[in-house]
Amino acid sequence: MQPTYNRKNKIHDTIYQRRFALRLLHYFFRLVILVFLCNTGYSQNKTYNQFWNEFQFTRPLKGKWALEFNLGQTWTSTPVDKNFFHTNSQLYLRAWVHYYASPRWKLSFSYAYFYNKDVPEINQSRLPELRASYQAIYFIKKIGYTLSTRMRLEDRHILDSNNVYNASYRYRQQIKLVYPFNSKVIRKNSIYGFSSEEIYLKTSNNLTGSQFFDRNRFTIGAGYSFTDDFQLEVSYANEYLPRSGGNEIYNALQINVLFNNLFSNITKKIFHEPQKSDL
């Protein structure tokens, strides 16, 4: 009888933990809505509503290496028009190389091209930015939930209207929590929540300003794993940018679509060898 009792207790504890996590996530979203309403009504700040979307494609390579490609887009409102989709603000393409140095360390390098069609925070329109990033992620805990901290150094080169590239370095420090609600790890049919806090520090630049503290970004959201290789994430991000000409606040709705081994999986489905079950 003792093993049965233990199993019942474990099931009860698991259900309680999931309910507690969902309740906590519910209160977080209520807090986010409250922050959104307060920020929108605070006249001393310039407030923007934005929509971010990104497609992520990852592919493991031999050994500890992996590749990742990102395709993203940003829509933004204006101080006058609060419509999320008022202006197509930015398009970008980014390529990553990842190296899993150990179970706790992940090292990465990326190079990206940003087409800044109309970005509110910088004095630039329809001009590109070239950005190299050096990144390290340290996984503090990976069992039951994932707690990690990310360090990223960005080498930015932004073209101005005089056809001159303005160079600037930016450092980003993030801490992130990912919590699966119905499984121990993220896999097929998993529902999970995530939240992160990140600060940005930068060198002065004619386009991005002279402030050393660039911004603070808080993100909270949830995701669903349709298969082991396909996830969809929806989140809310709040950015606070202290600026000499007036502080700026960004409220962003973000949708990320994540694919792993997309083309390999498609090829296998199309060209797979017939099995007995197929005959």
The tokens describing 192, both together, are 């999970």
- Give me the pLDDT at residue 79, please: 76
The string of pLDDT tens digits covering residues 91-145 is: 999 999 999 999 999 999 999 999 988 888 776 677 899 999 999 999 998 888 9
268 class by beta-carbon count within 10 Å (0-12 exposed, 13-18 middle, 19+ buried): exposed
Q: Are 192 and 202 spatial neighbours (Cβ–Cβ below 8 Å)?
A: no
Domains within the chain, CATH numbers bracketed: 2-272 (2.40.160.40)
pLDDT beneath 50, residues of the chain: 1-5, 40-43, 277-279
For residues 148 and 126, give the distance between their C-alpha atoms in angstroms, rounded to a whole number. Answer: 36
**Cα angle at 146 between 136 and 177, to 5 degrees?**
85
The answer for residues whose C-beta is within 8 angstroms of residue 129's C-beta and 6 or more apart is 113, 114, 116, 156, 157, 158, 159
Dihedral over alpha carbons 202, 57, 253, 42 (to 10 degrees): 0
Q: Are strands 46-60 and 248-260 parallel, antiparallel or unpaired?
A: parallel
β strands within 11-86, DSSP E = 46-60, 65-76
Query: Residue 143 — φ and ψ, nearest 5°?
Result: -105, 125
- Please give the DSSP secondary-structure letter assigned to residue 278: G
Which residues is 59 bridged to in the sheet? 67
pTM over 0.85: no
For residues 153 and 195, give the distance between their C-alpha atoms in angstroms, rounded to a whole number. Answer: 21
User: Half-sphere exposure (CA, 13 Å, Cβ side) for 16?
Assistant: 6
**Among 62, 131, 70, 128, which Cα is nearest to 96's?**
70
- Give me the pLDDT at residue 1, please: 43
